[in-house]
Every structure is written in structure tokens, then in C-alpha cells.
Structure 1
Amino acid sequence: MSITAQLRDSVRLPGGESLVNGFAFEGRHCGARRALLRGGGRLEVWDLDRLFAGEAGAVAGFAAPWPGWEHGGHSVSPDGAFAVFSGQRAVRAVGVGGETVWEYRHGCWGPELGHPHSGDEQEVCRGLEHGSCRVSDDGRVVWAHVIGDDCLEYWVVLDAADGRELARLPLDSAAAGSHHLSHPDGIHMGLSIGMGQDGILLHWARWDGERLTAWDLNETMDRILADVHPGHRGYLTVEHYGADLRLHALDGDALATAVPVAEAYWDYGCGFVGADTIIASTVDGAEDPDRAGHWLLDARSLEVRGQVTYPDGPATGCVRPLGDGTWLTYDGRTGTLHRWSAHRVVIGRPDSPA
């Protein structure tokens, strides 16, 4: 079945590709949907609701503390008062005026054991490996994936006010990179660690103010953490090589599985359009580009409802669902961000909202 996409908004947003092709999106669970865009040595915060309402310009901007460091997953506090940067040798909180609020030092993500540093904090060592960080939705703590002085990796919980370490969890990983996703209950946090050809590790944990409780889901998994249900009904993952999508309970149990349509492969660009609907993309195959596209699925069963068709032809890039019944695509040729909703089409006739 075909599902026609209805254009809701279009706005210019240079650099907005990272919003749909990556994890530069925060705040969906705490009332402020924001794009975190990097460029020119700054991290800019764009309020999507204001942007689509016609209010141009970023709502906040933070100077990157290490201009030569272009990696890491960064985060911004819910009130926009500070940003937390995941650096090569430290996690640093920076205020809107560029001042350092606090810094948490850790080992170097550079891959050479025992390599010297010149003493210049701006020095960037060879390698692309990096961690990530995330401010909790209540703004009280910062979760960070770091490497220790012992060259082992850790998941730490830091006090957001002063950077003091509250808890740490040793990790059995050798990361190329990572990203965090917060749970809408405001307590749990997910961490997805990519290790290149060695696979994906997935962890969930909770911090109750006194104790860190974590569970390792990697004995039977090699999956990318893609999105969390807005109504606490589990989370969505993609198999490392796109073989299937899977809906899980928080303890990791599989609730539903979807294999790709037309023998294609699922991309990691997927998530919850709303409480009842998932949007997912299939990878553009060089031998058969018709296999690429966007698909809407039932959020409980993962049954495919149909392929999305767009007014100006097929869209094969990544998507960013917003959780309110709409999703985003980005046209890199024009620097334009498009917001869509969907209506089912049955035998060429509009039916009901998808």
C-alpha cells in the first residue's frame, strides 16, 4: 500500500543534514525539540518549534573548547544554560559566555599507547575514536562514555553542577564512537557503542540519586539503539548490518521483529513518528535503487503499513521522526529541512491519518 506524505513545513537550515543523518537531536521528552548543529568552532542550538513558526536563528550557541577536535557526542542542558562537550581527553561543561563551568579529565581516546602530549590542551592526537555525553532530562546529572588512564572504557555519571563523579561502570568495549538516548521516564539512559566491524554494544542504566543500576544486553545482541517509544513502550534497534528492526522491552526482550522489504537492508535512520507508528528507511542499493525508500510500520507489531511517496518523487535519505505524528527530511542541495505527516491512500483515495 502507498502512503502519501503531506508537506507541513519547509525551512532553510544550513548544516541541518546532521539532524536527520545522526543523533544531533535532543529534548523530545522534556518539551523542547532541539537540533544541536556544529560548525565554525561552535555548537548551535535550534528550537525546531520556533524554527517552523518562522523565528529564524539559533536560540543559543556555545564555543567549542577544543577547536581542532571534531568528534564526540555533545549535549545541552534542558534550560540551555550550558553545553557539555565530549572531548578527546576530557568532558567539559561550557556556559553561554564561553566560560568553563567544570571539567572532568579522563584518558586519551588516541589509539597509540603511551603516546606523549605536549602539554597544550588544544593538541589533538591521531585517531577518530571518541565517546559521548548526555545531560539528563531533569538537568541534574551528566552521563558520559569515557576512556580511563588505564585505557579501559567506562560509563560515568557526573553531577551536572560541578562535574563530580557520582558513579562509574566498567565497559568491555573498544569504541569507534558512541551515542546516548534518554528514556522518557527521566530515570533510564541508553548507551550504544559502535566498534566498527567488531559490532555494537548496547547498555541501559538508571541512576536513582544514590545508586547506579545497569544491565548488559550484549550476549545475544549486535544492534544499534535507534529510538525510544514516547509512551514508555520499549525501544527500537537495528541489526548491525540492517538485517532487521526489533522492538524491545526495557529488559531487552524482543517484542516484535521486521525484516526489510524487497530484500533490501534497513538503515539506522528510523524511529517513532508517534505512539502508534514507526518510520524506517531502507538503504539505497547500487544495483537496485528502487529498494531504497521510507516505510511506515505499526509501532506494536512492526507490520509494514506501506511505502511513503512524496509529491516531488522518492526520498531516499535519512529521516528524523519527531514523535508528534510528523517526521523530517533534509534536502542537501538547497539546505532545506522539510516536515511531513502522512495519510493513507487506498486504491488512490485518501483515507485516514497514518
Structure 2
Amino acid sequence: MSINAHLRDSVRLPGGRALVNGFALDSRGGMTPRAILRNGHELEAYDLYEVFAGDSAPLAVFPLPWPGWEHGVHSVSPDGRFAVFSGQRAVRAVGVGGETLWEYRHGCWGPEIGHPHSVDEQQVCRGFESGSCRISDDGRQVWAHVVLEPEAGQWQECWVVLDARDGRELARLPLESAASGSHQLSHPDGTHMGLCIGMGQDGILIHWGRWDGVRLISWDHEESTDRILSDVHPKHPGFLTVEHYGADLRLHALDGTVLAEREPDTGEDDEETPCWDHLCGFVDADTVIASTLDSDEDTDRARHWLLDARTLEIRGCVTYPGGRVDSYVTALGDGTWLTYDDRTETLHRWAVRD
């Protein structure tokens, strides 16, 4: 079954590809979705609705504390008054005027344990390994995935909760991971935080946690090993994962229980089953969108699918005006989704045609 898409908005947005194939979309419960985009030596935060309405001015601009560092996942506070950067050797909070508010130093993400550093803090050590940070929805805590050195010569990845006012460590959770990178998602309930750690060929780990005011209460999902944390439900404590190699999508309860599972479908002209891409999400409380664009690196087979958010039953394949859309896809949770045209640097917002 085909489902016709309607083009709601379009805007030229250089760098907007990170919204559909990266971690630039900042979507929080009850807030307008924002784009957090790197532009040269600055990090810019935009109200997506205002951008589509023709207002191209960013809500806030923050100078990058380490311009040579191109990794890590950063976060902007809900009120836009400060940003927190995940660096190679520190987590740093920066105000809109560029002033350093605080810094939490940690071990180096560089792959050579014990390697020397120069006195220049802008030095970027060899390697692509990195962590992530996420400011809580109330703006009071910073959750950061970091490397710590509890003793000389030792190396331990941890998930730490920091006080957003001064960077003071409130709690830490030692992790059994060797990350190449990570990202975090705050749940719309305003309480829980999810951490997804990618370890390359060694798989993927998912943790959920909450701060109870005294300690970090967490649980991992052993049954979710080798699964990518993709999105959280806008209304109930559930989340979506994709198998590392795209074999299936799953809907989970917050404790990890699998509520529904779906393998990718084939189109009428497909001779073999494709794979799901690593991105999928909730268009709204009732609908999930997922793609099989990258299944065999053949863009002629690019397809986006709408699924039932409770059962993951496939409702149909999205048909776009003018033909197929060669893009990853990101759901906004408001009944619309995004695609990006690399050739024209244009961000498109779609909805199901009534």
C-alpha cells in the first residue's frame, strides 16, 4: 500500500544533513524541536519552526571551546542560555557570550593509554573515539559519557551526572564499554535518560538511568546488545531500537521488554529483503517512520515506511510528489518528518496527505 506525502515546508539550510543523519536534532517533550548545528568555529541553535517560517537567525550562538575537535555530541540548555561540549579531555559549559562557566576534566579519549599531552589544550590527540553529553530537560543536570582514570595507568568509561550550575559531579556509573562514540536521549517524562554506546565491531550497549536527587539509578539492556537506540515515544515510556545490521526494528518498554518487532518489507520489484537503516522515529504517538534507503547502497531502492506505533505493523510505503526522495529520515513527533537534499542543501518537512 502506498501512502501519499504532502510537502509542508522547505528551506535551504547548509549543514542540515546532520538533522537526518547525525545528532543535530534536539527534540524535548513539550518544546519546539531545535537544530543544533556546527558552523565553522561556532555551535548554533535554531528553532526549526521559525526556520521554516523564514526566520534564519539562530536562537543562540556558542563559540566552540576546541575548534580542532570535531567529535563528541554536545547539548544546549532548554532555555538556550548555555551549551555543554563533550571534548576529548573535558566537558565544558559555555555561556552565550563565550565565557567558560565550568569545566569537568576527564581522561583522554585518544586510543593510546598514557600518551603525553602538550600544554596547548587545543591539541587534538590521535583517534576518533569520543563521548557525549546531554542537559536534562529541567536544565539542572548534565549527563556525560566520559573516560576516567581512577588510578595511574587505568582507564574506565563512566556515565556521570554533573550539576549544571558548577560542573560538580553528583554521581557516576562505571561502564563495561570501549566506545567509538555515543549519544543520549532524554525521555519526554522528564526523568529518564538513555545512553547508546557504539563500539564498532564489538557491538552496541544501551543504558537507561534516572537521578533521584542522591544517586544515579540505572539499568542496562543485555537483551538489547547490538541494537541502536533510535527514538523515545512522545507519550508513554517506550523506545525504538534497530538491530545493528538492520535485521529488525523493535519497540521496547522502558525495562527493555520487547513489545513489538518488525522485519523490513520488500517492495513489489524487490528480489531480496532489504535492511532497515539505523534511523527511525515516532512521527506522532500512533505512527513510526523508518527507511530502507541504505540497505544495499542502491539509492534506486530508497523507501520510507510508515508503521503502527503499537504493533509495528507496516501501514505502507511513502510516495512523494515528484518521485522517490533520496534521504535519511527523522521524525519530529508532531505528525511530520524531515528529509534533506544534499544537492540543494534543502531541508524538507513532510506530513501524510489528508
User: If the TM-score is normalised by the length of the shorter chain, which range does it land in?
Assistant: over 0.9
Corresponding residue for 1:105? 105
Corresponding residue for 2:170? 166
Q: 1:336 aligns with which of 305, 328, 346?
A: 346
Corresponding residue for 2:269? none
Corresponding residue for 1:266? 276
Out of 159-168 and 327-336, give the one that drifted further.
327-336
Relative to structure 1, the CA distance from residue 211 to residue 285 in structure 2 (aligned partners, 3 Å threshold; closer, same or farther) is closer
Q: 2:234 aligns with which of 230, 233, 238?
A: 230
Specify the SS of the correspondent of 1:268.
coil
Corresponding residue for 1:127? 127
**Are the equivalent residues in 2 in contact too, given 1:294–1:316 (CA < 8 A)?**
no
d(CA) in 1 for partners of 2:229 and 2:216? 20
Q: 2:289 aligns with which of 253, 256, 279?
A: 279
Out of 289-298 and 191-200, give the one that drifted further.
289-298
d(CA) in 2 for partners of 1:340 and 1:165? 42
Letter in 2 for 1:60: A
Q: Root-mean-square deviation (CA), in Å?
A: 1.2
Corresponding residue for 1:195? 199
TM-score, normalising length: structure 2: 0.95
d(CA) in 1 for partners of 2:330 and 2:201? 25
Letter in 2 for 1:9: D
Q: Which runs of 5+ in 1 are unaligned?
A: 344-352
Out of 282-291 and 184-193, give the one that drifted further.
282-291
Corresponding residue for 1:307? 317
d(CA) in 2 for partners of 1:49 and 1:123? 38
d(CA) in 1 for partners of 2:223 and 2:262? 21
Relative to structure 1, the CA distance from residue 323 to residue 285 in structure 2 (aligned partners, 3 Å threshold; closer, same or farther) is closer
Q: 1:243 aligns with which of 241, 247, 252?
A: 247
**Are the equivalent residues in 2 in contact too, given 1:10–1:52 (CA < 8 A)?**
yes
Corresponding residue for 1:215? 219
Q: Which runs of 5+ in 2 are unaligned?
A: 267-272
Corresponding residue for 1:28? 28
Query: By how many angstroms is 1:316 displaced?
Result: 3.1
d(CA) in 2 for partners of 1:271 and 1:286? 21
Query: By how many angstroms is 1:215 displaced?
Result: 0.3
d(CA) in 1 for partners of 2:7 and 2:288? 18
TM-score, normalising length: structure 1: 0.95
d(CA) in 1 for partners of 2:297 and 2:161? 46
**Are the equivalent residues in 2 in contact too, given 1:26–1:35 (CA < 8 A)?**
yes
Specify the SS of the correspondent of 2:284.
coil
d(CA) in 2 for partners of 1:287 and 1:276? 30
Relative to structure 1, the CA distance from residue 287 to residue 339 in structure 2 (aligned partners, 3 Å threshold; closer, same or farther) is closer
1:290-330: CA deviation from partner (whole Å, max 9, x where unpaired): 54310000000000000001112101311111101000111
**Are the equivalent residues in 1 in contact too, given 2:274–2:296 (CA < 8 A)?**
no
Letter in 2 for 1:217: H
Corresponding residue for 1:64? 64
d(CA) in 2 for partners of 1:31 and 1:194? 28
Q: 1:325 aligns with which of 332, 335, 346?
A: 335
d(CA) in 1 for partners of 2:224 and 2:230? 17
Q: Residues 71-86 of structure 1 correspond to what in structure 2 (within 5 A)? A: 71-86=71-86
**After TM superposition, what 4+ stretches of structure 1 lie above 3 angstroms from structure 2?**
283-291
**Are the equivalent residues in 1 in contact too, given 2:277–2:292 (CA < 8 A)?**
yes
1:179-230: CA deviation from partner (whole Å, max 9, x where unpaired): 0000001010000000001100000001121221000112552100000000
d(CA) in 2 for partners of 1:250 and 1:169? 19
